[in-house]
């Protein structure tokens, strides 16, 4: 779950919904500087499904007693994270092999980039077992894709790596946009047509529940991108998990939007 603090209270945005925004960013992506990607529909689908493993947890999010709010995705124990990510590939597989591959790669990529778990012997054992199983799945899917006339060209290591990086980029960008920020943010290691760059985000203005944000360099096809997404507003904290879950299931929805423009 993502947290966005506002004057009215805390807006909670689910992981699967944030992933849908990542998918919308994918469909708007590409220009001369940032290049294209393929297979287009499957990569966009992978971006939209990258947090599918969170669907069950988001139905009954747990209470963080230290904050009085639902746990953020960064606040959960390693074992809970692993259980969520272990289920993701099988949940994604009915949507297609390439999308499931990208979902699995995104999960392993997270643990490779963010390595705090290495400080705990117990966590290290749990995570390493997860990584071994995911890598075995990835190798199996890649072998299958290489035998498919349509997918074989997109199963090359360089193509898969770039598509994995793109999903990670859209994930990071979506998290920043959903959580909101006050002045500037950046997304690093963004693939371009001939290398990598850093996206710089500048908050231009906020009108009601809509943020207007400048992006430089501009990675999209059109001259403006508008994103509309949903959250649930919690005006106060909770000390009872069931009460918090009941409130989240009530009519506490709020619609947010973000307009992206070139700087």
DSSP 112-179: HH--GGGG-HHHHHHHHHHHHHHHHHHHHHHHHHHTSTTTGGGGSHHHHHHHHHHHHHHHHHHHHHHH
Domain count, the chain: 1
Give residue 10's pLDDT. 97
Look up the domain containing 131 and give its range: 2-262
50-105 tens-digit pLDDT = 999 999 999 999 999 999 999 999 899 889 999 999 999 999 999 999 999 999 99
Q: What is the pLDDT of residue 108?
A: 96
| Tokens 């060209």 sit on residue | 153
**Residues of the chain with confidence (pLDDT) below 70:** 118
Euclidean distance between CA atoms 137 and 32, whole angstroms? 34
3-state secondary structure (DSSP) of residue 259: strand
């Amino acid at each position: 779950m993502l947290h966005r603090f506002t004057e009215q209270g805390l807006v909670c945005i689910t992981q699967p919904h944030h992933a849908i925004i990542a998918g919308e960013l994918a469909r708007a992506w590409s220009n001369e500087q940032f290049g294209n990607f393929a297979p287009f529909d499957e990569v966009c689908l992978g971006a939209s499904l990258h947090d599918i493993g969170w669907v069950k947890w988001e139905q009954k999010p747990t209470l963080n007693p230290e904050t009085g709010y639902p746990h953020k995705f960064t606040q959960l124990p390693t074992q809970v994270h692993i259980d969520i990510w272990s289920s993701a590939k099988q949940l994604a597989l009915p949507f297609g092999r390439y999308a499931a591959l990208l979902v699995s790669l995104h999960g392993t990529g997270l643990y490779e980039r963010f390595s705090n778990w290495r400080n705990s012997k117990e966590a290290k054992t749990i995570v390493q077992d997860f990584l071994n199983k995911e890598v075995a799945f990835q190798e199996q899917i890649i072998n299958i894709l290489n035998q498919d006339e349509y997918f074989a060209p997109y199963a090359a290591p360089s193509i898969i790596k770039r598509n994995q990086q793109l999903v990670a980029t859209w994930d990071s960008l979506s998290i920043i946009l959903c959580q909101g920020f006050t002045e500037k943010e950046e997304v690093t290691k963004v693939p371009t047509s001939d290398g990598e760059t850093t996206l710089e985000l500048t908050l231009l203005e906020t009108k009601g529940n809509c943020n207007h944000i400048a992006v430089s360099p501009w990675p999209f096809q059109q001259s403006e991108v508008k994103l509309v997404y949903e959250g649930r507003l919690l005006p106060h904290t909770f000390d009872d998990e069931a009460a918090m879950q009941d409130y989240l299931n009530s009519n506490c929805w709020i619609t947010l939007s973000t307009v992206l423009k070139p700087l």
